[in-house]
Every structure is written in structure tokens, then in C-alpha cells.
A and B are shown apart, each in its own frame.
Chain A
Amino acid sequence: GENVEQHPSTLSVQEGDSAVIKCTYSDSASNYFPWYKQELGKRPQLIIDIRSNVGEKKDQRIAVTLNKTAKHFSLHITETQPEDSAVYFCAPPEGGSTLGRLYFGRGTQLTVWP
């Protein structure tokens, strides 16, 4: 299975600043790279994902970049707002797997101070 690590485990930024969270994975056959957001007391929800045929994907203030050679992908949040405060998880699946298993990282607690 995948060995997934996220860094940093906690991140505090001032409102308006940018935040970057990095996820490293071990399975070189992985082709799908999602990020989930979990607000306090709520369920995880997908916020952005990327497939291995592209290097970057943007959706308004969030973006994901992929470096397949180095086996890591990153979540970028620009112009952060207090409502971005949450735990963020990367969750790459086992490479080439059709069994549906995602391997969740341990999460990054992002706090955005007004």
C-alpha cells in the first residue's frame, strides 16, 4: 500500500496570506491525487483533485501541483480567509488500483487569523 506523509502538521497564517501543504507518497504507479477538507465537527469533502497527465490544476483560490518524479503533490491556497481554517488531507489511492482504497495522510490543521 501507499506510504503517505503530509507536511506541515499545523500551519498558521494571517488572513490574505498564502498557505502551502505538501504530500509525499510512495507508490510510483499512483495516477490520482485528491485533497479533502474537513471543518471542525463536519465530514471530509473533496475540494480539488488532479490526475497524473497534468502538472497543475486551479479552482479559484485553490490549486494543486504535482511532481510525479519526486512523488509529491501540494495544495496551494491564496488570499486565505478565516473560513479556510480546517484540517486538510491528501489521499492518494494505491497505484493502478481498482479496489477503491484511498490512503489518507494524517492531516494538516490550517488556522487563518483575521
Chain B
Amino acid sequence: NAGVTQTPKFQVLKTGQSMTLQCAQDMNHNSMYWYRQDPGMGLRLIYYSASEGTTDKGEVPNGYNVSRLNKREFSLRLESAAPSQTSVYFCASSAHSGEETQYFGPGTRLLVL
């Protein structure tokens, strides 16, 4: 099993460009999450999907949209990138929502110039 996979690994964007970060899991998990990690800030939740067909905002949703394409895939879209969105983005999944272990992908490093 590959676990949680993310593409791309690294991306450079210019201010105003758009892009989609892809995430897939092969563990048959119901819940999926997108986090961003900035130095000294821990992991902050952007959006999550407790189950297929549902999505909810986390702490820092502004400037992002998500799509739960199916049970396996959860994408994060930046419509008009800003330098403040320079960060490392992690996708994660868990069997169910609530008090469960979350399994993380390898991360996507995004630089917005």
C-alpha cells in the first residue's frame, strides 16, 4: 500500500496563478484533511472532508477551495496564488472522523513569488 500520496512534490508559482494540489489514499479511509505548515506555527487545518460528499472549513480556508472527488481523492485548489500562501502543504486521512490516527502524505512545498 502506498498510503497517502501527494502531487506535486514541489511547485513555484507567480502571484495570481492558479494550481491544484492532488491527494489520494489507498487505505479506504472515510476522512481526509488539508493542512499547511509554516515555521513556528505547527499544522493549521485548511479544509477537511469527514466523509465522501462533505467538506468543511478549517482554521485558515481563505484563498483555497477543495473537492472530494471520490472516497480516495481530495484536491486543494489555489485560485489566485499570493506570497502568503508560500508554505508546505500536507494531506492526511483517517479511518473515520473524530478521535482517530491521521496518516499524512509526504507534503507539497509551494513557493509563490
Contact = CB atoms under 8 A, between A and B. Distances in A.
Interface of A: 1, 31-32, 34, 42-46, 49, 51, 89, 91, 93, 97-102, 104-107
B31 A100 contact: yes
A100 B98 contact: yes
B99 A45 contact: no
Contacts, number: 58
B98 A98 contact: yes
Interface stretch (B13-21, B44-52, B60-68, B72-80): B44-52
A43 B43 CA distance: 11
Given A99-B98, A100-B33, A101-B58, A45 B42 contact: no
Given A44-B90, A91-B43, A100-B97, 17 more contacts: A1-B59, A42-B106, A43-B104, A43-B107, A44-B104, A46-B102, A49-B101, A51-B99, A89-B43, A93-B99, A97-B98, A98-B98, A100-B96, A101-B45, A102-B45, A106-B40, A106-B42
B43 A98 contact: no
A100 B94 contact: yes
B50 A99 contact: yes
Contacts of A51: 99
Interface residues of B, number: 27
Given A43-B90, A43-B106, A99-B56, A104 B42 contact: yes
Interface of B: 31, 33, 35, 40-45, 48, 50, 56, 58-59, 90, 94, 96-102, 104-107
A10 B87 CA distance: 22
A34 B102 CA distance: 10
A98 B102 CA distance: 14
A43 B5 CA distance: 11
21 contacts: A32-B98, A34-B101, A43-B105, A43-B107, A46-B101, A46-B102, A91-B43, A97-B98, A99-B48, A100-B31, A100-B96, A100-B97, A100-B100, A101-B45, A101-B48, A102-B45, A102-B102, A104-B43, A106-B41, A106-B42, A107-B40
A32 B100 CA distance: 8
A106 B48 CA distance: 20
